[in-house]
C-alpha cells in the first residue's frame, strides 16, 4: 500500500459510477459453514429467534441501499453459532456476496501485526521499554510541535510500548482542529516511497503531535510496528506474517496483495453520495490491492475473509492457541489486553480514546467500565475495527467472538457496528 493512501485512509475520493441496489433478491445464509466447529445457538446459551432478529436488522442496511452487503459471524464456547451472508459483492453486476468473499480489513490488520511483534518479544528480541531508536536510529532526536509554528525537543524517546499503544506522538495527518503537523504529514507522504524502510525514514523527519508517552492519538504507530518487525526479524512483513501467523492458523485468504486467482472474490468498496445512495470508490478491476504491493502496511494493508478472521478470533479466545498451534502465551495476551492508557489523556485526532469506558492495550481497544460505554457487553472485552466498517470483539467472560464485515467509507454515521454489537449481546439468554 502506498504510504500516501495509508495517511489518508479516511479521505473518500469521489470516484466510480452511480450504482443501484436491489437487495430484496439476496438470500440470507444462517447456517455456519466455516472450517471451525459449529453448533446450534441454544447449545451454547444463545437464542436462535433473537439471532434471527439481529440478522433481519442487519439486512435492512442492504435492503435500504445503505450497504452493498453485510456478513456477520459469532463464535461462543468454541462453536460457530451464526454465520450470515447477505447482499452483493458489487451492486452493479448483482454478483451475490459469497461466504468466502474477500474484504479490505484496513485497521483490523493492526491486531495481527501487534501479535506478530509480541511474538518476537516472547523470543527476547526486545523489551517494551526499549527506545525505538535502538532499532531505527533515525528516531533518536525527535522534535515536537508546540503551536504557533514552534518546535521543541522530545523530552524522552519513543519506546516500543508507545508504538504498540499509540502514545508515540505520531498521527494520521488529520487534526481537530487542523494544525501545521497535518500539512507536514501530507508533504511527508510524498517522500515516503514504497517500502517500510523508506516509510520509517520519512516519518523520522516529521515533528510529533505531542511528547512521547504523554497522550493517546490514533496514528501510523502500527505501521511503524510493522516496519520495526521487519528490522528485528530480518523478514519482509508479508513473509513474516505468512510464516508465523497466517499459515499456522490456516488463514489462506489473508494477503497484502490479492492473488490473481482470487480476484473474482475481491469485492467493491463504496461511499455514499449526498443523496445517500452508494457509489463505488474501489472496484477490483482498478484496485491497488490487485496490483503489485511493496509497501506492506502494518496499520491497514491486509485483505481477508470472515472465515479467516474467525480463526484469528478463536486463537485469541483460546488464549493464543488454535488446533494445537500456539502463537503466543496466555500471559503475553493478558499483558496486551490490559489498560495501557490509564491516566493518559486523549491527545487529538478523530478517534477519542480513552473515553466512555474504553481504554487501549497493545494492539486492541479494551472495555474497562461497562456502564460508561452505555452498551451491552463485558468488562475485559477487546477488539478493533477497520476504516470500511469491519469490526470484531473478543469477550473472554462470555467465551465469545463477534465479527462483522462490510465495505463502505465512511461507515460511522450508519452506527452499524453499534447496532450489531448490541443485537449480538441481547441474544445471550443463558
Check whether the bond before 94 is cis (ω within 30° of 0).
no
pLDDT tens string 54-91? 999 999 999 999 999 999 999 999 999 999 999 999 99
pLDDT tens string 184-193? 888 877 677 8
CA 360 to mean position of chain CA atoms: 14
pLDDT of 280 strictly over 50 = yes
Beta bridge partners of 83: 73
User: What integer pLDDT is reported at residue 21 of this predicted model?
Assistant: 38
User: What integer pLDDT is reported at residue 180 of this predicted model?
Assistant: 87
User: What integer pLDDT is reported at residue 17 of this predicted model?
Assistant: 32
At 345, is the secondary structure helix, strand, or coil?
A: coil
pLDDT tens string 214-231? 999 999 999 999 999 999
- The rounded distance, in Å, linking the Cα atoms of 405 and 65 is 16
User: What integer pLDDT is reported at residue 324 of this predicted model?
Assistant: 95
Quote the percentage of the chain above a pLDDT of 70: 92
Domain boundary assignment for the chain: 3-109+249-425, 115-119+126-233
pLDDT tens string 33-55? 567 999 999 999 999 999 999 99
Query: What's the topology of domain 3-109+249-425?
Result: Beta-lactamase (3.40.710)
The chain-wide mean pLDDT, for the chain, equals 92
With CA atoms as reference, report the closest residue to 165 among 327, 302, 343.
343
User: What integer pLDDT is reported at residue 178 of this predicted model?
Assistant: 78
With CA atoms as reference, report the closest residue to 366 among 384, 346, 351.
384
Give the position of cell 523489551.
127
pLDDT tens string 14-33? 333 333 333 334 434 454 55
pLDDT tens string 336-373? 999 999 999 999 988 999 999 999 999 999 999 999 99
User: What integer pLDDT is reported at residue 33 of this predicted model?
Assistant: 58
pLDDT of 399 strictly over 70 = yes
pLDDT of 121 strictly over 80 = yes
Q: Which three cell numbers stand for residue 125?
A: 528480541
Collect all residues with Cβ–Cβ distance below 8 Å to 200 and sequence separation of at least 6: 136, 138, 139, 224, 227
Amino acid at each position: 500500500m502506498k504510504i500516501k493512501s495509508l495517511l489518508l485512509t479516511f479521505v473518500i475520493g469521489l470516484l466510480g459510477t452511480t450504482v443501484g441496489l436491489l437487495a430484496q433478491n439476496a438470500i440470507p445464509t444462517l447456517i455456519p459453514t466455516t472450517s471451525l466447529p459449529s453448533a446450534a445457538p441454544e447449545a451454547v446459551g444463545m437464542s436462535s429467534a433473537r439471532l434471527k432478529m439481529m440478522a433481519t436488522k442487519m439486512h435492512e442496511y442492504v435492503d435500504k441501499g445503505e450497504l452493498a452487503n453485510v456478513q456477520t459471524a459469532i463464535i461462543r464456547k468454541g462453536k460457530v453459532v451464526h454465520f450470515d451472508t447477505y447482499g452483493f459483492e458489487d451492486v452493479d453486476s448483482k454478483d451475490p456476496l459469497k461466504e468466502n468473499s474477500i474484504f479490505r480489513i484496513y485497521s483490523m490488520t493492526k491486531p495481527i501485526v501487534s501479535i506478530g511483534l509480541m511474538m518476537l518479544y516472547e523470543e527476547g528480541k526486545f523489551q517494551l521499554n526499549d527506545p525505538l531508536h535502538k532499532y531505527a536510529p533515525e528516531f533518536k532526536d525527535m522534535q515536537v510541535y508546540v503551536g504557533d509554528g514552534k518546535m521543541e525537543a522530545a523530552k524522552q524517546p519513543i519506546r516500543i510500548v508507545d508504538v504498540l499503544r499509540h502514545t508515540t506522538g505520531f498521527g494520521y495527518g488529520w487534526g481537530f482542529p487542523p494544525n501545521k503537523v497535518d500539512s507536514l504529514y501530507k508533504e511527508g507522504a510524498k517522500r515516503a516511497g514504497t517500502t517500510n524502510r523508506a516509510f520509517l525514514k520519512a516519518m523520522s523527519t516529521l515533528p510529533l503531535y505531542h511528547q512521547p508517552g504523554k497522550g493517546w492519538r490514533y496514528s501510523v504507530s502500527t505501521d511503524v510496528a510493522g516496519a520495526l518487525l521487519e528490522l528485528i526479524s530480518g523478514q519482509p512483513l508479508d513473509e513474516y506474517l505468512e510464516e508465523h501467523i497466517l499459515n499456522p492458523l490456516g488463514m489462506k485468504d489473508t494477503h497484502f496483495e490479492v492473488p490473481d486467482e482470487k480476484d473474482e472474490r475481491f469485492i467493491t468498496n463504496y461511499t455514499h453520495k449526498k443523496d445517500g445512495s452508494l457509489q463505488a470508490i474501489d472496484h477490483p478491476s482498478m484496485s491497488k490491492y490487485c496490483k503489485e504491493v511493496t509497501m506492506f502496511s502494518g496499520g491497514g494493508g491486509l485483505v481477508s475473509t470472515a472465515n479467516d478472521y474467525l480463526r484469528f478470533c478463536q486463537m485469541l479466545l483460546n488464549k493464543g492457541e488454535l488446533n494445537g498451534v500456539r502463537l503466543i502465551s496466555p500471559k503475553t495476551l493478558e499483558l496486551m489486553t490490559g489498560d495501557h492508557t490509564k491516566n493518559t489523556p486523549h491527545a487529538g485526532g478523530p478517534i477519542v480514546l480513552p473515553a466512555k469506558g474504553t481504554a487501549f492495550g497493545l494492539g486492541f481497544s479494551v472495555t474497562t467500565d461497562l456502564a460508561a460505554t452505555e452498551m451491552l457487553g463485558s468488562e475485559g472485552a477487546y477488539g478493533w475495527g477497520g476504516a470500511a466498517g469491519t469490526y470484531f470483539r473478543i469477550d473472554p467472560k462470555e467465551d465469545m467472538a463477534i465479527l462483522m464485515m462490510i465495505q463502505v467509507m465512511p461507515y460511522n454515521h450508519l452506527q452499524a457496528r453499534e447496532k450489531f454489537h448490541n443485537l449480538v449481546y441481547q441474544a445471550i439468554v443463558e
